[in-house]
Chains A and B, each alone.
Chain A
Amino acid sequence: MGKISNKGEKNEIYYSRDYRHLNRAWITYLLQIIFVLVPVILIYLCSYSEISYYISEFSAGLISNITVDTTGILKEKYFPIFGVIYYITMKGKYPSFTMAMISFIVTLILIVVFARINMNRKPLMIFLTIGLCVHLASSLFFIFFGNKFPYTLDTYSILYMKQQVIVWLMIIVVYWLSTSLITHVTWYRIISLAMLMVLSFVYGIVRYILYMIIISQFSYLFMASLYFTFGVLFDFLIMVGIFSLFIYRSGKKFQGKKRGRVWKWS
């Protein structure tokens, strides 16, 4: 019959959102996990030791410039096969009874105030209230148990570093798996993952420096809230931010695609 000319063909009608889906890519998906994700994880695990060393070295240098305290670098075993983890060692300080008491009262007042203000910012207020409750618990602890606080600044430092190693590992895994839901185009995801890791590393380092300074200058009173309230949440927030940018870009790219190439119906 011969090939029919496309002259006069109407424009493509795009699939409606009800039942459209993407071309199945599970083989590519699995291959990428085996040949991209797993090697990246292994490389990361093999190099977290060096990463922690350079972070500690850089941060220690910066802290020494900012404060007059002496800093050093220690190491501790972490994952059995993959090596030690380095962290900063510094002198911390305990809060006085007065400081703990003042902290308790101020925190209590703030909790009452936050519970009552600004209904349009309710989620933020609840989040801050929970953070204040953590700080309240910390203040109470120091009021009643004073010097029985089980951690030193060194312990916080190693806690932080261990947490960050896991966080960065999880970010790689979760981000890769999440973005694979949208596209198996590798380079696009690698670039955004690289962006995310750079942001996350920089953030991790800067936060490490700031939190170590806060605890060393203002006492262990703040350790709990810095660890729980202002910790891991913001790492994942950055990941979700980059993910949303990724979806935004992918969406713009894919919405106009003709059916069969990207979208399938039912």
Chain B
Amino acid sequence: MEMVVKILQGYFIFSIVLMIIYAIRHFCFSYNRLFAKQRVSYRDIYDSELPMVTVMIPMHNEEAVIRNLFDSLLKCDYDREKLEIIAINDHSDDKTPEILEEYHDRYLFIRPIHRNGDGERGKPAGLNDALKVARGEVIIVFDADYRPSKNLIKKLALAFKDPKVGAIMGRVVPINAKKNMLTVLLNLERSGGYQVDQQARFNMRLLPQYGGTVGGFRKNIMLATGGFDTKILAEDTELTYRIYSMGWNVVYDNSAECYEESPETWEVRGKQIRRWSRGHNNVMFRYFFRFLFSPNVGFAEKVDGTLLLLVYVVPLILGLAQIDCLILFFMGKMEIFAGWWAILFMGIYNTWGNFAPFYEIGSGAFLDGMEKEILALPQLCFSFYFYMWYISLGFFDAVIDIITRRNVKWAKTKRFSNEKRVENA
């Protein structure tokens, strides 16, 4: 029994130490973003010789939004001779195929790929098919509901003039930020995550993450390593770690902004988070040691990369810490830990307040000029439990994936937009 108590107390202390590490990490990020010299990406470069770019757009039943995306892409200022657009129609059963053919008839550089057979479904499989036929040396991926600005492709492509850049990530901005309280909270999270977290990691030469959309990567890296892994839901996280392990890096461009749509209901958000957690933890299981012992990664990158890999495990660790506390409580061992419980909770709330602690979100909102939205910050307190629940479920999904080696079944995040909103953007 004494041993049990010691283990429980040890786990309690371990959780506190872990929370303090994350708290310090995020505080450093916030401080760096607010006060340090910012590392600007390569957007200031003027170059008349741009790389050949392939824009890939995976889509499934996107008839409501793809016209707007194509119309935006047609307005972009990238040399048409150096641009091709591959629209990947993945088993759509609405008017998506017809619309793609219509645009292909008018613009030859828009090339649809129709995937209707019995082959693997989903984004990675679709991207792999497109990679085989893509002519571009740089691949840029957009979601079907995006509305890229005129110079977005150029901003992203210029980064690849740097021979060490393996991928680039831009910033997504929720277009429906003020739809309801959930979207307000997601907007705040995004602000903390991109404006502060990603930019600080780029400043400090750590591990900015490739996010799978509003971003690009070198085609030869993917082809040399067998393309995307269709068994992983978080192909973007997997690409990030693959790139760093091979000696390349990821660039984050805070000015390369694009609208996206946030989930508008908690149900959809929960499914999304669970999927992200499952995918991310799959990557964690595959890359934890590979990344840690990679000769191509520096020490600081290894530390940050490891903490990033564990991000979707931490809520489970915290949940278990709370259960641990409860057991200690009923065993009568809580007395000496009365204050420590407060520290743990403080750590939980500060460090793992929903992907970014409250001071990081506050800093992001401040930098973005979102004074009024910041008043919704306290509403995040309960969503911490929400995330803890769904992320833990995602973790268990990932464990089952590893044990049973089951195939992942792809699901698209439910869309809420209508053409009118997207037109008004």
Contacts and interface: CB of A to CB of B under 8 A. Distances in A.
Quick check: do A and B touch in the complex, using CB within 8 A? yes
Interface of A: 16-26, 119-124, 126-127, 130, 134, 137, 141, 150-151, 155, 158-160, 162-163, 165-167, 170, 174, 177-178, 181-182, 224, 227-228, 231-233, 236-237, 240-241, 243-245, 247-248, 250-252, 254-255, 266
Interface of B: 27, 30-31, 33-38, 40, 195, 199, 254-255, 265-267, 270, 322, 325-326, 329-332, 334-335, 338-339, 341-343, 345-346, 349-350, 358-359, 362-363, 365-372, 374-378, 380-386, 389
Nearest to B382: A123
B345 A244 contact: no
A122 B266 contact: yes
Contact of B374 (A26, A233, A248): A248
B357 to A, nearest CB: 9
A228 B385 contact: no
A252 B370 CA distance: 9
A18 B326 contact: no
Interface of A is mostly: helix
B254 A182 contact: no
Contacts of B40: 19, 266
Nearest to B253: A18
A218 B40 CA distance: 61
Given A122-B270, A159-B334, A243-B358, A166 B37 contact: no
A173 B382 CA distance: 23
Contact of A119 (B266, B365, B389): B266
A246 to B, nearest CB: 8
Nearest to B38: A19
Given A166-B338, A243-B377, A244-B375, 15 more contacts: A16-B255, A17-B368, A18-B255, A119-B265, A160-B338, A177-B27, A181-B359, A182-B363, A224-B326, A240-B378, A240-B381, A244-B376, A244-B377, A247-B365, A248-B371
A-B residue pairs, 7 tightest by C-beta: A150-B332, A251-B371, A166-B339, A123-B382, A122-B266, A123-B386, A178-B359
Interface centre among A155, A182, A254, by most chain B C-beta atoms within 10 angstroms, is A182
26 contacts: A21-B367, A24-B36, A119-B267, A121-B266, A123-B383, A127-B385, A127-B386, A134-B326, A137-B330, A162-B339, A163-B338, A163-B342, A166-B338, A224-B330, A228-B322, A228-B329, A236-B381, A240-B349, A240-B377, A243-B358, A244-B376, A244-B378, A247-B371, A247-B377, A251-B370, A266-B37
**Majority SS at the chain B contact face:** helix
B365 A251 contact: yes
B393 to A, nearest CB: 12
Contact of B332 (A19, A151, A163): A151
B374 to A, nearest CB: 5
Given A17-B195, A21-B36, A266-B40, A236 B346 contact: yes
Contacts of B367: 17, 20-21
A170 B326 CA distance: 22
B330 A182 contact: no
Nearest to A254: B366
B38 A21 contact: yes
Contacts of B384: 123
Contact of B329 (A19, A24, A170, A224): A224
A166 B342 contact: yes
A81 B56 CA distance: 66
B378 A237 contact: yes
Contacts of A124: 382
Contacts of B38: 19, 21, 266
Given A181-B31, A232-B345, A120 B266 contact: yes
A247 B363 CA distance: 8
Contacts of B199: 19
A175 to B, nearest CB: 9
Nearest to A118: B266
Contacts of B33: 21
A159 B371 contact: no
A241 B363 contact: no
B21 to A, nearest CB: 16
A162 B338 contact: yes
A170 B363 contact: no
B195 to A, nearest CB: 7
